[in-house]
Amino acid sequence: MKYLLLIIIPIIILVKLSSSDEPPFWQGHYDPAYIYLFNGLNFADKYGNIGHYDNPGTPAHVISALIIKTTYIIRNSQKTLPEDVILNPEYYLKIIAWTFTIFNCVLIFFSGLVIYKLTSDLVFGLLFQSVALFSTAINFAFYRVSPEPVLFGTATILCLLFLRSFYFGKPLHVFVHHNDQAKSELIIKDYRISVLVFGIIIGFALATKINSLPLVFIPLLLLDKFRRKIAYILVVVLSFVVFTLPVVSYYPRLFLWIKNITIHSGHYGYGTNEIIDSSVFMENFLKFIKGEPLIVFVMVVSLIVIIRQVIQKKHDIHLKILIVFLLVQIVEIIMVLKHFRFHYFMPILPTLAVNLFVILKIAEFSYKTRLATVILFIAACFVLNFVIRKDKIEGSQIVYHQDDINIYAYQSRSPLYALKFGDDYARNINASLLEKEFGKQCFYNVWSKQVTDWKQEISLDSLMRLNRNLFFFTSGRYVSRMPPPFKIKLMSEGKYQIEANSASLDK
């Protein structure tokens, strides 16, 4: 009966997602879903040709490839793998998204079960499961094709193994010996295994998304000898290299990208040449306070408990864990406030469950009080975040007219642009196939300011000489932030008519 209580939160998530009317990925979340679809396709078809490296995201690409390949085999399609994926992109994306979702729901169940087994207290199991309801950012762990579902699962496994190894002192290996000499050898062996296991997990997390960097400090600060810390760092670096081998040729670009986002104030390495823009930082801090009250609550309570423990001179394992985890969370938040997106909080969400677990252990509440506290907390999480946050979808629905020429740009709600966008970030390996299946199409790159077809740049003047209506589709946000080098007239939300080529007018 107790085990059945541990399936409540996973079932709630699955029921909510299965009953919700999720828009097609091309309509709302083609960035980054189609990037992972096309790179996954390339890896599944050719075991290479991954062209996306800036997350780096490589494990998510490889996992997507495995799902794509398995799905294709089960479908037993008469078409080639690239043809089947390109003609049925939404089908494959749904399979990937549901695979990630089901895996994380199963992981949430087992996380509660593991904590229950370690503590013999169902309350702690439910508490650890409540991470699935912590914040608006948690929605990115479910029904998404992106690094976030993979990162959520990785961070959850890290926290479970951390508690088992560092808090409960349980070995990470299976066999347990009883004589003293064997125990001594076992302790040495277990430290080696811990260094290896935690190093691999952190390396995998970094390869999934570089903003998981603060997680490095959890094992690093808690390993007790300098040589073990060095060994751990070496394992992290080596495992990162192994998990990013498909994009190893992009390392110079990757490290340049990391450098640029570090020393520039804007997103993706743009903006002024300063590490932090103080005005933007404070604006993002207010967004954080307003948008993530549960994260703020857990961290504030953790700080209060730390101060209390220090005053009372209780320098025990509880204090050490709280300090380390709060430090990791603060570093993560500073990183996110520099380049703010809610889903960037993903690496620290599972760590908040550890904070709450330790705080309840320190409080030494009675069982009934613990149960009431956890139920109230879960209820608060449920009220704040049960309705999955819907991102505003900008741009207009495309209306096709045979005599028009449509030029699609970023944030245009077009399945054609979603395909082009994904292929652009996958080395344009499938450009010829896309042209064969969908004919000649026109696109606009808001960053390079070039008009292209599936394969190469085309002249806007050549399109205008056809004496047909030229329509430009994007969001008003990008028109104002990155205006195109041609004259446009607003027709409706997200739809503009191209009136003249500014370059031609200049002549």
Domain boundary at 385, 419, 434, which?
Answer: 385
**418 and 371 within one domain:** no
280, part of any domain: yes
**492 and 367 within one domain:** no
**276 and 248 within one domain:** yes
CA–CA distance, 334 with 330 (Å, rounded to integer): 6
395, part of any domain: no
Q: How confident is the model at residue 266 (pLDDT cuts 50, 70, 90)?
A: low
210, part of any domain: yes
CB-based contact 228:170 (threshold 8 Å): no
Domain boundary at 351, 385, 419, which?
Answer: 385
Task: State pLDDT tens for residues 19-44.
Answer: 877 889 998 789 999 999 999 999 99
**412 and 379 within one domain:** no
Residue 70: partners with Cβ closer than 8 Å, 6 or more residues away: none
> Count of CB atoms within 10 A of residue 361's CB?
16
Task: State pLDDT tens for residues 354-386.
Answer: 999 999 999 988 888 988 988 888 888 877 765
How many domains does the chain divide into?
Answer: 2
Task: State pLDDT tens for residues 238-255.
Answer: 999 999 999 999 999 999
Task: State pLDDT tens for residues 311-351.
Answer: 999 989 999 999 999 999 999 999 999 888 989 999 999 99
Q: How confident is the model at residue 224 (pLDDT cuts 50, 70, 90)?
A: confident
CA–CA distance, 134 with 245 (Å, rounded to integer): 34
Residue 1's pLDDT is: 67
Q: How confident is the model at residue 215 (pLDDT cuts 50, 70, 90)?
A: very high
Task: State pLDDT tens for residues 102-142.
Answer: 999 999 999 999 999 999 999 999 999 988 888 878 888 99
| Whether residue 389 has pLDDT greater than 50 | no
449, part of any domain: yes
Q: Round the average pLDDT of the chain to a whole number and report it.
A: 88
Residue 392 or 307, more confident: 307
Residue 429's pLDDT is: 94
**350 and 410 within one domain:** no
Residue 263's pLDDT is: 79
**317 and 361 within one domain:** yes
**411 and 375 within one domain:** no
| Whether residue 200 has pLDDT greater than 80 | yes
413, part of any domain: yes
Cα–chain-centroid distance for residue 367? 36
390, part of any domain: no
User: pTM above 0.85?
Assistant: yes
**489 and 364 within one domain:** no
Q: Which domain holds residue 442?
A: 405-506
**Kind and range of the H or E run holding 499:** strand 495-501
Over residues 276-294, the mean pLDDT reads 88
Helix 122-129 and helix 89-119: axis angle, to 10°?
150
399, part of any domain: no
